Structure 1
Amino acid sequence: MKDDMRRVDDKLQGPVLIEEDLAVHGIVTGDATLSSGAKLVLHGTITGDLIIEPRAKAIIHGTVNGMVINDGGRAEIFGTVDVIMDRSPEAVTVVDPVASVRVRR
């Protein structure tokens, strides 16, 4: 984790717009949107959907109970995700063999 990445250990009430590099070890209740150019390292839980905008990067070690919707960023899945949906030809989604994904669209 980069030194300038902000760490969140508590609860964030969604919907949440993430516009900075962020490490979440707590919980996001509801949906989260990762803005273009931002990076998210998730060790905690998002109870809703995660939307990844173009040029954003999400590294998921934790859990997304909803969908990971990739609109042109990069998603690296190591944890548990209900549904993955790539909605752009620029979307890059990498699923590690240890990850748990119920549906990929």
Structure 2
Amino acid sequence: MEKIQILVIGRHPEILATVVRLVNNNPDWNATGCLSDEEAIAAFSTQDFKLVLLGGGVDEMSEYKLNEYFYSEKPNIKVVQHFGGGSGLLSAEIFEALVS
């Protein structure tokens, strides 16, 4: 089975690396981490992401711009905000988004 592609956007390199690692702990998922809006938009256009995870530090303006872009490119994309809270919560948020 093909892995589910997940785009993770954050502003803090250490936290982003941790979230990507936690997502990749699930053998069915493959996370791509991006620190900037431009990087995220570039990655989004090259891979078939099923889910976008917005991490801490992404301000409202960026969130609005990114959501507008993602939904215009792929109306059925799932966008989830993740504000921390450990790997159990992270997995639950991802599972919930993927099945809804």
More strand by share: 1
Larger RCO: 1 or 2 (CA < 8 Å, sep 6+): 2
Q: With structure 1 as the length reference, what TM-score do the two structures score?
A: 0.30
Q: With structure 2 as the length reference, what TM-score do the two structures score?
A: 0.31
More helix by share: 2
